[in-house]
């Protein structure tokens, strides 16, 4: 009996993921995306399902990493959690800089396998794999918000292609990551098109408890901006669906080992404030168009995914 128990315990320890989250928190800054806060909240609430080894900050939604750290600390305090937070690159130019984020990640990887979630630019992770290539084997999976199908993307509401911001924001980092041959999983924007965090979901969320009431209140301006463009009720909390890949993997439809590459293509994406060039690089995946690199690609997420998240939050509040 004791032997069986020991085996079960050992198995459990082995199955317990060590996770790291690298993101660009704009939450709390005027008219900035709120999605990282939702991702961080979800990661923290489900902390009993894995070991959160560290959090690291990167440029993107804002280059102000002191602000990002302050806001992260605020969320940690509200949820009564203590996790190490490391500042990383505040611009893509800092890809050559060994920041506290790179060192923190290095130390964590030296202690064993780590699943890395990236919902911002890949700058920090690229610096790590470039300077410490012997540690790449300890990244069991790198889950990244980005990528699109080479053969064409389905449009949001039949008319809009959102830009692939994390790719556009640091192409050098993308190249470095592809060359590292790390086990890369892409959660693309197209998989999230039907997952609108609308008024009804926001109302339900705010009723969970005072924390969610606060989170919801702070998201109202973002909802208002989405109402101006792309003219819908609610917003897509992109980054949340990077973290829920860890907790609700059964909701994700993913294919393994597709060809992935950077391709210079006609720009079909649109943004209300940014004028992009006519042609630009896209991180593309394809089943048939061969390339030297491969990645896993999650092309869709179950339509009940938001409902499942709300149930999870109700249970953990």
Alpha helix stretches (DSSP H) within 50-142: 65-78, 100-110, 123-131
Cα-to-chain-centroid distance, residue 201: 21
Binding mask 243-282 for Ca ion (x = CB under 5 A): ----------------------------------------
Comparison of 219 and 261: residue with beta carbon closer to Ca ion: 219
Task: For tokens 């993308």, name the residue.
Answer: 174
Q: Which residues pair with 134 in a beta bridge?
A: none
Q: Is 24 in the site for Ca ion (CB under 5 A)?
A: yes
Q: Which residues pair with 261 in a beta bridge?
A: 284
Query: Near Ca ion by CB under 5 A, which window of 17-25, 46-54, 248-256, 264-272?
Result: 17-25
Q: Tell me which residue of 74, 76, 20, 23 sits closest to 50, measured CA to CA.
A: 20
Q: Is 170 in the site for Ca ion (CB under 5 A)?
A: no
The region, left, alpha or beta by phi > 0 then psi within -120 to 50, assigned to residue 152 is left
Distance of closest approach, residue 192 Cβ to Ca ion, in angstroms: 13
Query: Near Ca ion by CB under 5 A, which window of 63-71, 78-86, 199-207, 238-246?
Result: 238-246
Q: Which of 19, 20, 32, 36 binds Ca ion (CB under 5 A)?
A: 36
Q: Which of 94, 164, 239, 261 binds Ca ion (CB under 5 A)?
A: 239
Q: Is 164 in the site for Ca ion (CB under 5 A)?
A: no
Task: For tokens 């500042």, name the residue.
Answer: 87
Residue 79 carries which DSSP code?
A: T
Distance of closest approach, residue 25 Cβ to Ca ion, in angstroms: 7
Comparison of 239 and 246: residue with beta carbon closer to Ca ion: 239
User: SS3 for 200-212, per residue?
Assistant: HHHHHHHCCCHHH
Q: Coil, strand, or helix at residue 213?
A: helix
Q: Is the dihedral of CA 166, 140, 180, 133 positive or negative?
A: positive
Q: Is 191 in the site for Ca ion (CB under 5 A)?
A: no
Q: Is 119 in the site for Ca ion (CB under 5 A)?
A: yes
Comparison of 24 and 170: residue with beta carbon closer to Ca ion: 24
Binding site for Ca ion (CB under 5 A): 24, 36, 119-120, 239
């Amino acid at each position: 009996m004791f032997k069986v128990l020991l085996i079960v315990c050992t198995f459990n320890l082995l199955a317990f993921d060590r996770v790291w989250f690298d993101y660009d928190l704009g939450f709390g800054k005027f008219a900035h995306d709120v999605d990282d806060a939702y991702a961080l909240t979800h990661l923290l609430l489900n902390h009993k399902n894995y070991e959160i080894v560290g959090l690291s900050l990167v440029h993107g939604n804002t280059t102000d990493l002191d602000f990002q750290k302050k806001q992260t600390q605020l969320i940690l305090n509200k949820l009564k959690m203590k996790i190490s937070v490391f500042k990383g690159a505040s611009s893509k130019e800092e890809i050559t800089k060994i920041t506290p984020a790179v060192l923190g990640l290095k130390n964590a990887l030296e202690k064993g396998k780590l699943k890395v979630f990236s919902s911002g630019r890949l700058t920090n992770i690229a610096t790590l794999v470039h300077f410490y290539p012997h540690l790449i084997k300890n990244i069991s999976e790198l889950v990244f918000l980005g990528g699109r199908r080479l053969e064409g993307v389905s449009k949001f509401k039949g008319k809009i292609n959102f830009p692939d911001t994390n790719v556009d924001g640091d192409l050098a980092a993308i190249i470095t990551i592809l060359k590292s041959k790390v086990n890369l999983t892409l959660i693309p924007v197209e998989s999230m098109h039907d997952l609108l965090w609308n008024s009804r979901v926001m109302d339900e969320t705010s009723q969970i408890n005072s924390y969610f009431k606060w989170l919801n209140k702070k998201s109202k301006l973002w909802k208002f901006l989405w109402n101006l463009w792309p003219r819908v009720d609610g917003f897509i909390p992109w980054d949340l669906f990077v973290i829920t890949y860890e907790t609700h993997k059964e909701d994700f439809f993913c294919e393994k080992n597709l060809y992935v590459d950077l391709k210079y293509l006609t720009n079909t994406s649109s943004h209300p404030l940014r004028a992009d060039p006519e042609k630009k690089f896209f991180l593309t995946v394809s089943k048939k168009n061969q390339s030297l690199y491969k990645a896993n690609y999650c092309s869709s997420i179950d339509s009940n995914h938001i409902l499942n998240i709300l149930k999870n939050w109700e249970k953990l509040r």
